[in-house]
Amino acid sequence: MSIVYRTTRCTFSSSRVWTRLLIVLLLTVTNNPLLASREKSGRVERPNIVLILADDLGYGDVGVYGSKHVRTPNIDELAREGVQFASGYVAAAVCSPSRAALITGRYAQRFGYHFNNNGRSGLPASEKTIGERLNEKGYRTGLIGKWHLGWQESQRPNRRGFDYFYGMNSRGIFISPDTKGVETWIPGGYDGTRESSTTRPSNDGLITRYTLSTRDQHPLYKNETPVEDGGYLTETITREALGFIERNKSNPFFLYVAHYAPHMPLQATKKYLDLYSGIELEQQRIYSAMVSALDDSVGAIKAKITEEGLAEKTLIIFLSDNGCAKYTQGACTNSPLSGGKRYQLEGGVRVPYIMHWPATIPKTRFEPMVSSLDIVPTILAASGIEVTSDDRIDGVDLIKFLRGEDKSVPHEALFWRAGPNRAVRFKNWKLWKVNKTTRDRALLTPNDELIMAVANRDSPMGQLTVLYDLSTDPGERINLVDEHPTIVETLEEMLADWDSEMAEPSVDSNRTSAAFVDGSAVELIF
């Protein structure tokens, strides 16, 4: 909001008149109730920003989103004191393109980022990150945890707007699996084997191979120097996040805490495993313990902000990069949603999503659709940084909706694409078009196990089209494609219009998995 003063042409006979006029103008500005309101709302003073990202956290694995057994008191408190988004979406169903959209505010498909590129390419230099935008305006910026947007030197966090980086460029392990009291679980298919592997009661070699290769290929970095840390990764990330806040508490800062938990490999320490001793299923017990460690991290960061007197001027955002993975074989849940990681169904792209800024945003449960694309423009608006049409930002500033300043909805439609697989949600309708595959192929991969194949082309078997009414069927169980041909046609036209603005994949996908949807075998491309 800007204040415009209209003046008339006047002639003044002495400098004293100019002085008096200047005093009046200054008093008018400093006592203006509109400006005072902006100061009170946090829109003038640049707030601190803390963005906490979980990795593969299930929609149904947080207390306020319906979990009955995973304990998340700190995340729940964040939601109760802030905004819990009922329909919070991410822009992709897998890690890397989701993160690319998150830190640019743009559909990653605009710049050809459809898949987990696995080091073959990273975030294009042409794309501006939120770290770069805030750094240019004097913010101290830090990334603690998982980057996953390029391994090459020019693509690393310190070259993409972050003053401080402590983490790994891609995947990682949480702790050495032979550490006393640690339990580890890896699903079959994760390393080309058929059987799942656990360190209790025995280790068949898969875990050793996987963890050693991961540690060697993806070292821990402090800025651009490899370092070693023998602690539990979730606690290490928390320690570094608290240190960043301590060092920068006197300056506006942006802290991006990109946790690895609860991504594979499932690993937890005795401290957290003991909380779930009553759960018999090994992978579910370890996963639940990992989420509790993540929850403790959220609590520690929030407590540090309060302790330093920064709560009134700090916006905290919490969400997951995508839904939890079905290949964990019962460890997690996206209930009541269907599908999971890799799926463009609700369970793959609808996630726990919370904003906390009590001084500015009233606490509420917000029902309309929001997207991770909205995080960049929300941060920029809160920080007083202008967004122009040249930026081609796809998200919107959510604060004006949360404060009731805009009575419309942030989005009527959201879109997803991974190669030939595409989806759109328009109001209550969800359309998904996904490549078909052979039934034998799907039966060979009952737990979404990996198939190494180039697969970002149209399938010779065509596509499955499904249509769901989310207002009555949030679990996407009833395919209405035959009952509503006009709606299908409209949504397909919307998808085509959106797709005409997107770029084709910059690299081929070399990984897929197969699944059954509505009785058909389909190929999940990522």
Q: Which residues are catalytic?
A: 95, 148
**Quick one: three-class SS letters along 261-294?**
CCCCCEEECHHHHHHHCCCCCHHHHHHHHHHHHH
Please choose, from the candidates 453, 392, 393, the residue with its C-alpha nearest in 3D space to the C-alpha of residue 419: 453
Nearest to 56 by CA among 377, 430, 448: 448
Residues whose CB falls within 8 Å of the CB of residue 145, separated by 6 or more in sequence, listed in order: 53, 166, 167, 168, 237, 256, 257, 258, 259, 260
Beta strand 463-469 with 451-452 is unpaired
Non-local (6+) Cβ contacts of 9 within 8 A are none
Decide if 35 contacts 44 (C-beta within 8 A).
yes
Are β-strands 314-320 and 48-54 bridged in parallel, bridged antiparallel, or unpaired?
parallel
- In 193-269 the beta strands, taken as DSSP E runs, fall at 197-198, 220-222, 225-227, 253-258, 266-268
DSSP one-letter code for 176: -
Contact between 392 and 123 (Cβ < 8 Å) = no
Alpha carbons 81 and 306: distance in angstroms, whole number: 13
The helix (H) or strand (E) run that includes residue 89 is strand 88-89
Beta strands 88-89 and 183-186 are: unpaired
329 near 187, Cβ under 8 Å?
Answer: yes
H/E run at residue 448? none
10 Å CB burial of residue 336 (0-12, 13-18, 19+) is: middle
d(CA 285, CA 267): 10
Signed CA dihedral, 316, 322, 323, 325: sign only: negative
Total residues belonging to the chain: 526
